[in-house]
Structure 1
Amino acid sequence: MSPTTPPDDRRLRADARQNIEQILRAARDVFADLGYQVSIAEVARRSGLGMGTIYRHFPNKTALVERVAIEVMRESLTEVRRALAEEPGSWTGFTRVMRHMTRLRSSQLFPVSRGRAKEPGPELHGIRTELLAALDDLVVRTQSAGTLREDVNASDLVLMLNSIPPRIPDPTDGSPVADLADRHLGVLLDGLRAPGTERLALPAPGRREIDQFFRATHDL
């Protein structure tokens, strides 16, 4: 079974599995480009499938967002763990993770809509907790090596990554016409490198601040 296929789709026909993967690829691009406020109709347009096909596999937008979030966070967790194993404590390993998460727009996929009828499922809650813990480990190891400034934490990284703008869409068809992520990430990394010349205000953010930020700014 493909890693992008929801776990309860083991008995689906090959064409149904292909449709699910096609929907998820389109949804990832749409959410990264335009945010969660975009309608399912845009996902359908980019996937080339009908609305009925999407709702056949994902009963509502929340279910689709949650599945995309799980998929992207799982990829990010894998990359953090690889960097920790292959380049422990190095600045190269740290920037590798930051660039990976920027490419996936992982920071935009931490929250799930607060308008849901029930709390996020255990799979999403579990992978988000694992990813945040791995980012904590990455920060601590890089700081211990003396290359990451000591007054930042993993919550800072999540909020900073979220400040990087999405791809700028063409107003006519929504296709991306400019992507400044790498440029802005370069400025961000320069400010994160030790020792840092500007003293940061305290206190540092935590999980509570992350949740409040997404609720206030994205209604998520």
Structure 2
Amino acid sequence: MTSTDTATATQAGAAAPAEAGLKTDLKAAKAAKTPRLRADACRNRERIITAAREIFVEQGAEVPFDEIARRAGVGNATLYRNFADRRDLAHHVTLAVMTSVADQADKAAAEEPDSFAALSRFVHAAADERIGALCPMINDHVDHSAPDIQAAKDRLDAAVTELVSRAHASGQLRADVGAGDLVVALAQLTRPLPGSACLDLEPYAHRYLQLLLDGLRAPAATELPGRATTLEDLRRHL
């Protein structure tokens, strides 16, 4: 081997670790950047869902996508990158609402030692989700047989049923009221009146809900017609 060959080999040997080190640095930089990009993408997605929930209540489910994007503080391209169409967005808004309401039920059950206080807390928290106004507006855009929607619905049903069962067991909830009765009353009392906007009802919703809760307490002053409605009864007829 000539002196030139030896020098070349030496340079190549020295370059190999340097090149390997550069590749490692690039991989590390890319790995560090990826979680940040994913976090940004997740935040944008959540902002879109939150904005859609608000604007669907205010203006209905047919509101233009550019208004939703503007409310979320993102571009139209970002919105469409996350949600292919209106049904896709309505699907994920529904999931978010159902998950949030179920979370509120679980939290009330875990943090309130008094069973009727837990039920009352849940009812008012669910009203703050504006479910009475939102759900009818987006119902036609949602496939309720979708597995993730069904799973969220089952979880919510179980959480509400647990609250009602505990209140019954403590003797504080009248025996002729079921979880289905509670859900229907909650939906009706938080739904806007014909010709009015959802926001017009908000100052009064919690007042009416407290009247409802007072009427749910045992002992019952009057007998209700029919029998207690379960969530299974509702699912069969809705």
Same fold, judged at TM 0.5 (above): yes
Return the alpha-carbon distance in structure 2 between the equivalents of residues 158 and 175 of structure 1. 18
The structural deviation recorded for 1:86 is 3.0
Change (3 A) 1:167 1:196: same
Return the alpha-carbon distance in structure 2 between the equivalents of residues 39 and 154 of structure 1. 33
Q: Which aligned pairs between 1:24-43 and structure 2 lie closer than 5 A?
A: 24-34=49-59, 37-41=61-65, 42-43=67-68
Equivalent pairs, count? 198
What are structure 1's unaligned runs of at least 5 residues? Answer: 1-9, 214-220
Is 2:224 the partner of 1:192?
no
Aligned to 2:10: none
- The structure with more helix, counted as a fraction of residues: 2
Is 2:113 the partner of 1:61?
no
Deviations 1:159-195 (A, max 9, x none): 1111123579xx9xx8946612212212211221222
What are structure 2's unaligned runs of at least 5 residues? Answer: 1-34
Change (3 A) 1:40 1:202: farther
Is 2:49 the partner of 1:17?
no
* Amino acid across the alignment from 1:186: Q
Q: Is the 8 A contact 1:32 1:166 kept in 2?
A: no
The structural deviation recorded for 1:99 is 0.9
Select the structure of larger CA radius of gyration: 2
Which has the larger displacement, 201-210 or 76-85? 201-210
Q: Which aligned pairs between 1:112-131 and structure 2 lie closer than 5 A?
A: 113-114=139-140, 120-131=145-156
Q: Is the 8 A contact 1:153 1:204 kept in 2?
A: yes
- The root-mean-square deviation of aligned C-alpha atoms, in Å, is 3.2
Return the alpha-carbon distance in structure 1 between the equivalents of residues 199 and 141 of structure 2. 29
Change (3 A) 1:28 1:135: same
Q: Is the 8 A contact 1:89 1:138 kept in 2?
A: no
Aligned to 2:122: 97
Aligned to 1:152: 177
Which has the larger displacement, 93-102 or 191-200? 191-200
* Amino acid across the alignment from 1:164: L
Return the alpha-carbon distance in structure 2 between the equivalents of residues 70 and 115 of structure 1. 13
Change (3 A) 1:77 1:151: same
Which has the larger displacement, 144-153 or 43-52? 43-52
* Amino acid across the alignment from 2:213: L
Change (3 A) 1:87 1:176: closer
Change (3 A) 1:123 1:60: same
Q: Is the 8 A contact 1:72 1:104 kept in 2?
A: yes
The structural deviation recorded for 1:58 is 0.9
The structural deviation recorded for 1:91 is 1.8
Q: What is the aligned counterpart of 1:136 among 161, 178, 181?
A: 161
The structural deviation recorded for 1:103 is 0.7
State TM-score, norm by structure 1. 0.73
The structural deviation recorded for 1:82 is 2.6
Percent identity over the alignment is 34
The structural deviation recorded for 1:19 is 2.4
* Amino acid across the alignment from 1:185: L
